[in-house]
Amino acid sequence: MPTISMFYGIRIFINYKDHNPPHFHAEYAGNQATINILTCTVMESSLPNKQLKLVLAWAELHKDKLMHNWGLSQEGDELISIEPLR
């Protein structure tokens, strides 16, 4: 589970060779969310609303980089870091 970004205590990661659809995971204080990269929609979440909104805003800004990382993860290649939300 390589971390690709971290902001406001939220860790963003993509698992290697994970199932479709393309998605990433967010973790905050023991709560997690799974976000569809293509649509920037929630697949599953127990994140507090404030943190979930931050994650979704960040995802919209970095959709292309997230898709690039998804492709890398499917090949087992090293993922790139993505700028945090500021």
pLDDT (tens digit per residue) in 16-34: 999 999 999 999 999 999 9
Q: What range defines the domain where residue 53 resides?
A: 33-86
Whether 76 is in a domain gets the answer yes
Q: Residue 36 pairs with which residues in a beta bridge?
A: 23, 41
Whether 16 is in a domain gets the answer no
What is the predicted pLDDT for the residue at 62?
98
Whether 27 is in a domain gets the answer no
39-65: average pLDDT: 98
Whether 44 is in a domain gets the answer yes
In the chain, the number of structural domains is 1
Whether 48 is in a domain gets the answer yes
What is the predicted pLDDT for the residue at 17?
92
Whether 22 is in a domain gets the answer no
What is the predicted pLDDT for the residue at 1?
75
What is the predicted pLDDT for the residue at 34?
98
Cα separation of the two ends of the chain:
23
For residue 14, give the nearest of 74, 85, 84 by alpha carbon. Answer: 74
Whether 43 is in a domain gets the answer yes
Enter the pTM of the model.
0.95
Whether 6 is in a domain gets the answer no
Across all residues in the chain, what is the average pLDDT? 97
